[in-house]
Amino acid sequence: MASTICGWCGDRTHMAMVTEPERLPGYMSYTYTATFQCSNEACHRLSIATVSRQTGYASPKKDMARETDLSWQPTHIPRREFPDVPEQIASAAVEAHACLAIRACRGAVALARAVVEATAKDKGITKGPLVAKIVEMHKQNLIRDITRELAHEIREGGNEIAHGDLGDEPMPPEDAEAIIALMDEILEEVYQGPARMLALKRSRLEREQRNAEKKAALQNGS
Ligand SMILES: [Zn+2]
């Protein structure tokens, strides 16, 4: 039994091996693949697991089932939701997360930059490079101090990609994760947080209105 997040149903489940591991030809190392079935009763769909090792398995079926770093197809791609963010910006943010999930780090960062640019533009901030826009968003109290500082810390990686300068080394996933987290935080502060606040305020005003009406009705009745 191997445990993973099923790429079909999104649950963390046990995967039961349903075919014997097969050793794939054409690799220098030993690469095995096998079919597994999701144990979630509402799913039961099949996934393919693959693993590469320096040495061969003595007993492939038992040994592969014990592996902890199998790579799975399909891969689970978490769907983030941004209900209070304008549709176009939200859909690009969802795609940035999808890129990150498949380790397409440069794609994730390029989209995250576009999302932050579009957010600034949506708030009427159109001048200067991205960093200047973030500073302006902070000036207008759209984002917090700490978010602006964070943006300064991590802007380098994103800049390389924006200027078509891909660098000597691939972007480390942690850098891409930090940039996506910053994008999430900016969307939270600019759209999601204020929308929640407005909803609370609206429901308080409605409650007060209802209470006032009740009171008036009682007074009229008495
Ligand atoms: Zn499943």
pLDDT per residue of the chain (222 residues) written in tens, 0 to 9 = 578 889 999 889 999 999 999 999 877 789 999 999 999 999 999 999 999 998 899 999 999 988 888 999 998 877 788 999 999 999 999 999 989 888 888 899 999 999 999 999 999 999 998 889 999 999 999 999 999 988 877 766 556 555 556 565 677 888 889 999 999 999 999 999 999 999 999 999 999 999 999 999 888 875
64 Cα: distance to centroid of ligand 1 (angstroms):
20
10 Cα: distance to centroid of ligand 1 (angstroms):
6
pLDDT at 160: 57
101 Cα: distance to centroid of ligand 1 (angstroms):
18
Task: State how beta strands 12-17 and 71-73 pair.
Answer: unpaired
- State the virtual CA torsion across 145, 149, 151, 153 in degrees, nearest 10: -170
pLDDT at 159: 60
Enumerate residues 6+ apart whose C-beta is below 8 A from 83: 90, 192, 195
9 Cα: distance to centroid of ligand 1 (angstroms):
4
10 Å CB burial of residue 31 (0-12, 13-18, 19+) is: middle
Q: What is the pTM of this model?
A: 0.67
pLDDT at 222: 58
87 Cα: distance to centroid of ligand 1 (angstroms):
29
